[in-house]
Amino acid sequence: MSILDDILTDKRIELEQRKALQPTAKMRIMAWASPFAPDFSAALRAAPLALIAEVKRRSPSAGEIRTPFDPAGIARAYAAAGAQAISCLMDDKYFGGGDAQFRAVRAAVQVPILYKEFVVDEWQIWHARVLGASAVLLIAAALDDADLRHLLDLCRMAGLDALLEVHNADEMRRAAASGAQLIGINNRDLATFTTTLETTFHLKQLAPPGCLLVSESGIHTADDIRRLRAAGIGAALVGESLLRQPDLQEAVRRLMA
């Protein structure tokens, strides 16, 4: 089994427990009573190349990333430096995220926030809306075509953007067939954990016309950003390389220079 398989198995167990406490019907009612958050896609399209800066405590491949870890302070630094949006990890077991972290970030900034989670169930879409998310991550490798289309439709119904993440050519073709207009290309190989921007440049050729592409993982320098912008990529999602720097505002400015 891959690490993604392990995470998804644990996520389904977690969701059954959470749904027992807060059924989907109740979460849906709470969602419709919640205000709409800032527009994620519009914020990305307003910049020549937008930055989605990530709030992440740890990961299976990198371990602990930033100590001490202050989600609200990190988010405020990102926003002050000009990040167009923020990505906030939701998974606790593998990434050290969760509801409290998301709420702290939402209270700290006005920019759109991506609910970055391993989404496999309708409950999570409504949960994202309740927390004040502007967009939800959907991972093509975690979903079959029927579930993918169903969750994309639910995102539209809930007033949320969906960032559909792909890792390879087959997943990009599935994304194109789904009608997704916001596609993230993850430069990390799920088997080896190696990263290369060449994944973005290769898969871009298979992307549907008019969609906004987000390059994810393995982005470290201003030169990486220049290469992505020159290739017509609309946004970059960056976490670890920023979080390891002592001055987050300066790190963002240097990256986006």
From first to last of its 257 residues, what are the pLDDT tens digits of the chain? 588 999 999 999 999 999 999 999 999 999 999 999 999 999 999 999 999 999 999 988 888 999 899 999 999 999 999 999 999 999 999 999 999 999 999 999 999 999 999 999 999 999 999 999 999 999 999 999 999 999 999 999 999 999 999 999 999 999 999 999 999 999 998 777 789 999 999 999 999 999 999 999 999 999 999 999 999 999 999 999 999 999 999 999 999 98
* Distance from C-alpha of 64 to C-alpha of 115, rounded to nearest angstrom: 20
pTM of the model: 0.96
* Distance from C-alpha of 254 to C-alpha of 256, rounded to nearest angstrom: 6
Q: What is the assigned CATH class of domain 3-255?
A: alpha beta
- Number of alpha carbons in the 13 Å side-chain half-sphere of residue 103: 6
- Which residues 6+ apart lie within 8 Å of 242 measured at CB? 53, 54, 78, 248, 251, 252, 255
Q: Are 88 and 71 in contact (CB under 8 A)?
A: yes
Write out pLDDT tens, residues 121-171.
999 999 999 999 999 999 999 999 999 999 999 999 999 999 999 999 999
Write out pLDDT tens, residues 97-106.
999 999 999 9
Mapping DSSP to helix (H, G, I), strand (E, B) and coil, where does residue 26 land?
Answer: helix
Average pLDDT, the chain: 96
* Distance from C-alpha of 116 to C-alpha of 88, rounded to nearest angstrom: 6
Share of the chain above pLDDT 90, in %: 93
CA dihedral 54, 59, 62, 63 (to 10 degrees): 120
**Per-residue b or e along 109-148, where b marks 16 or more CB atoms closer than 10 Å to that residue's CB:** bebbbbbbbbbbbbbbbbbbbbbbbbbbbbbbbbbeeeeb
Q: Which residues are catalytic?
A: 54, 56, 116, 165, 186, 216-217
